[in-house]
Every structure is written in C-alpha cells, then in structure tokens.
Amino acid sequence: MAAADKPDLELAARFPDLHPPFDHQSALTEANRCLYCFDAPCTAACPTHIDVPRFIKKIAQGNLRGSALTILDANILGASCSRVCPVDVLCEGSCVYHHFNKQPIEIGRLQRHAMDAFLHDGAQLPKNSVADRPGKVACIGAGPASLACAARLRQQGFSVTLFERRPLPGGLNTYGVAEYKLRASDSLREIEMIRGLGVEFRFGEEISPAKLVRLERDYDFIFLGVGLGAMHKLGIPGEDHPAVMNALEFIERYKTGAAANVGRRVVVIGAGNTAIDAARAAIRLGADNVQILYRRGKEHISAFTFEYDQAREEGVEFRWWTRPVAIHTYGATIATIECVSSEPVGFTANADLLAAPGPTTSQSLRIPCDLAIPAIGQSPLVAFLESCRGVGVEHGRVQIDRATGQTTNPKYFAGGDCVNGGREVVDAVADGKRSAVALARILEAAHA
C-alpha cells in the first residue's frame, strides 16, 4: 500500500462513494431541517456521544470549523466514522423524524461535510494542555481504539507511543473497510492530524514477550488495541488453493490494485458485514454472478439489514442453509464448490434450531466458481494476549473494568475488538477514549 496516502483514480471510479458528500447548499438545507432536540436521542445513540444537534447547528450557522471541533471533542475519528458508521441503527436510526414518518436527518453526511472541510483546510487538533507532562503510555496496535486513546492522552500533554506491526496505521480503517465507504487515503489523512499532536508511531513492531517486558519497564501503562487475528479457516479440502482468498485479504488486495481480476463467478462464504462488503466489491470489480452462501437462514445473518438490502439491490444472490464441504480445483482455477444444502422443514424465524433441529431436506450441489471468498469471522489473538502477564482473557476476549477499560493487570488497559470480539469503529473509539480519561486521571494523581 505504498501510495495509500494518495487516492487511486481508477479505484475511485470503480468504487464511487456510497454516500456522496453534500455540496454547501445541500448541507445548509439539511442542517436547517434539524429540530435541535433537547436530550437528543441521536446523541444518546452514538457510542462516543457526539453532540449532534450542536454540530449540526454550527453547520447551519456556517461555522464548519466549530462544527468539526464539536465532533472531534467527542470522537477523534469523526471523519472516518462519518463514512463507516452504521448510522441507520445508531444516530439516524433514533432521529425523532422517524416518529413523524419522515426521513431522518442525514447526520453521517453532515458530519462528513464538517470533517472534510476541517481536514481540507489542514486544521490542527487543539491540545488541551500546552505543556508536556510526566507520564508515558504505550499503545499496542494502531487501529481506532489505540488512536483514540493516544490522541486524547496527547491532548492532555502525556507522551504516547503506538507500536504497530504493519507499515501503516489505522488497522481495518486503512486496510479492511470497503473502498466505497472509506478510502485508505482518507483514513491516513485523518491519522496525520493525530500525528500532528505529537503522538509517536513505530511501525514494523511485532511485540514479543521479551519486548512486552521492556515496555512494562519503560512505560507507565500499556493500552492493548490489538484487534483480532487471522480469519477463521473453513476446514474443508481445497481451501488453500490460490483462488480462495479470505475476505480481509481480498479487500486489502483490491484496495491496493492487487486483486482487480475476480473472474465472472464469485462465491462468498458467510453472511456478516465483511462478507457483504466483499460481495459488493466483487460486483464493482466486474463479476457477473456473486453468490453468498450461508449455513443458516436469512433470519440468522449477522450483517445489518440495510447492508443485506443494498447487496440484494446490487445483484448479490443469497443461498440460505448452504454449507460448503469441498472446493474442487483444476490447475490454477476453481472448478466448483461442493455444498450441502439442508433446510429445516417447517422452520420459522423464532424456532430454536439447537434445541429442536427437527427434520431437514438435504441435497448436494456443486456451484461453478472463479473466486471463493471465505468470510466467517476472525479469531482472537490468544497467544499474544496470553503473553500479557496477569491480563485476564475469557473466550478470547480481554476482561476489563467497564468504567475504565483497565484489565486484571492494573498496568494494562484495553479496548476495541480484542475486548468486544469485533464491533464498529465507533465502539473502538469510545473504548480508547474511556481508557484515556481513566489513564489521564491516574497519571495526574501519580505526578501531582
């Protein structure tokens, strides 16, 4: 991703914005629709509690910088969140206009409008404390949780160093979000603003147990924002063939121009939001037929309903109750994916499949395919987490104090996907902010 700080024009043409930016007049018109509700439900619905009516009012008053600063005060990744947040189920989903059967305020696009103007002007983030203060924190990982933690601490004058094993910061924001939602160049532009605070980044840093011991010695606290590990394997014959590429690898490769040729027929296995992102990308890359296979029914998918609806509208086909059992290959290509389709007879959405599986109709089928994209979730970084001595981990998730993010080892705090198992960018930002607030309080008291 060598030139990731610059937009790729060909990629941009294939992946136009899902929610195009407002022009100035449209933003003003939309901002003036807002009722500026007292106890605004949109603010309550935002995990970072952005003061939505306040930032919208500032747009209506023509104060875009003030609007952006209101957003950034609550959410340091306000620019990327304006693009990737599932606003339909968060702020916009709670807008009072729904009660009047009217279109909710387009909060995400208004947020983007303010943030784009701020970043375009090269504006700097405010530092709440001009003087540097004693207190050093190491953040492991440079994804949204660590970035939010680091920025907030740095704004308070504390020293923060991010250790990242990859060559670029941003985690999934840079490497794993569908291009029609967030470009790598936009993710990196936002992070430059955080770097401008004086946050130190160290790339290519794998954290071994020996290095962890050194970090424990050299820093007052360690924040774990390591996310999740590799994607789960299917565990079926043929999945190591080169024409089988997991969804995160596929998204990263097409974002760098390395996987532009997807063939005519693409099969995605899994029905979460990442699976849908991969399927919709395959259509934009020229596939004629894109199918999603899911081992259970429509009622059980983890993807948001609006993502599913949009994928259907774009032509993605769904095969429910269908489980791959082998990938048959022929030289450099896939021939077919062999599947078993077993739909429960008389199944209803409320039935408990595990408690009462009931009879099924079962058939075997072979689906022709040029590219197979498994997307069945990521595994936790168990080995690494276990090397963090005294940090409690249950079912692959770091155990924390919900009020502070502190782990069972008081030297360590944690947030983001390694705690919640994989949620939204905005949840990771909220976690990082929570820990930064707690850490600043502890550091202040320690050095008073």
In the complex, the residues that contact ligand SF4 under the rule CB under 6 A are 34-37, 40-42, 52-53, 95-97, 105, 107
- Residue 53 CB, nearest approach to ligand SF4 (Å): 4
- Smallest CA-to-CA distance from 205 within 148, 138, 256, 251 is with 138
- For ligand SF4, the closer of residues 86 and 198 by Cβ is 86
CA dihedral 241, 242, 243, 246 (to 10 degrees): 90
Give the Cα separation of 323 and 304 in Å (integer). Answer: 21
Give the Cα separation of 55 and 66 in Å (integer). Answer: 8
Helices first, then strands: H and E counts in the chain: 17, 14
- Residue 37 CB, nearest approach to ligand SF4 (Å): 3
Instruction: State which amino acid sits at residue 386.
Output: E
- Residue 308 CB, nearest approach to ligand SF4 (Å): 25
User: Could you give the count of Cα atoms lying within 13 Å of 254 in the half-sphere of its Cβ?
Assistant: 29
- For ligand SF4, the closer of residues 52 and 281 by Cβ is 52
Give the Cα separation of 98 and 116 in Å (integer). Answer: 27
- Residue 106 CB, nearest approach to ligand SF4 (Å): 9
Give the Cα separation of 21 and 32 in Å (integer). Answer: 17
- For ligand SF4, the closer of residues 40 and 117 by Cβ is 40
- Smallest CA-to-CA distance from 444 within 217, 158, 106 is with 158
Name the β-bridge partners of 317: 291
- Residue 74 CB, nearest approach to ligand SF4 (Å): 14
- For ligand SF4, the closer of residues 96 and 215 by Cβ is 96
Give the Cα separation of 317 and 288 in Å (integer). Answer: 11
Give the Cα separation of 429 and 75 in Å (integer). Answer: 7
- Residue 82 CB, nearest approach to ligand SF4 (Å): 14
Q: Two tokens at 60?
A: 């209506």
- For ligand SF4, the closer of residues 54 and 127 by Cβ is 54
- Smallest CA-to-CA distance from 318 within 333, 344, 299 is with 299
- Residue 47 CB, nearest approach to ligand SF4 (Å): 15
Give the Cα separation of 47 and 296 in Å (integer). Answer: 30
Q: What is the CA radius of gyration of the chain?
A: 23
What phi, psi does 151 have (nearest 5°)?
Answer: -65, -45
Question: Cβ(378)–Cβ(422) under 8 Å?
Answer: yes
The strand pair at 136-140 and 221-224 is best described as parallel
- Residue 35 CB, nearest approach to ligand SF4 (Å): 4
- Smallest CA-to-CA distance from 221 within 296, 315, 141, 140 is with 140
- For ligand SF4, the closer of residues 41 and 396 by Cβ is 41
- For ligand SF4, the closer of residues 52 and 199 by Cβ is 52
- Residue 376 CB, nearest approach to ligand SF4 (Å): 36
- For ligand SF4, the closer of residues 48 and 435 by Cβ is 48
- For ligand SF4, the closer of residues 34 and 142 by Cβ is 34
- For ligand SF4, the closer of residues 56 and 278 by Cβ is 56
Name the β-bridge partners of 363: 341
- For ligand SF4, the closer of residues 37 and 353 by Cβ is 37
The per-residue DSSP string of 93-120 comes to GG-GGGGGTSPPP-HHHHHHHHHHHHHH
- Residue 56 CB, nearest approach to ligand SF4 (Å): 6
Give the Cα separation of 344 and 348 in Å (integer). Answer: 9
- Residue 81 CB, nearest approach to ligand SF4 (Å): 15
- Residue 110 CB, nearest approach to ligand SF4 (Å): 8
Q: Which residues of 327-338 are buried (b: 16+ CB within 10 A; e: fewer)?
A: bebeeeebebbb
Q: Tokens 């005294």 sit at which residue? A: 390
How many residues are recorded in the chain?
448
- For ligand SF4, the closer of residues 52 and 147 by Cβ is 52
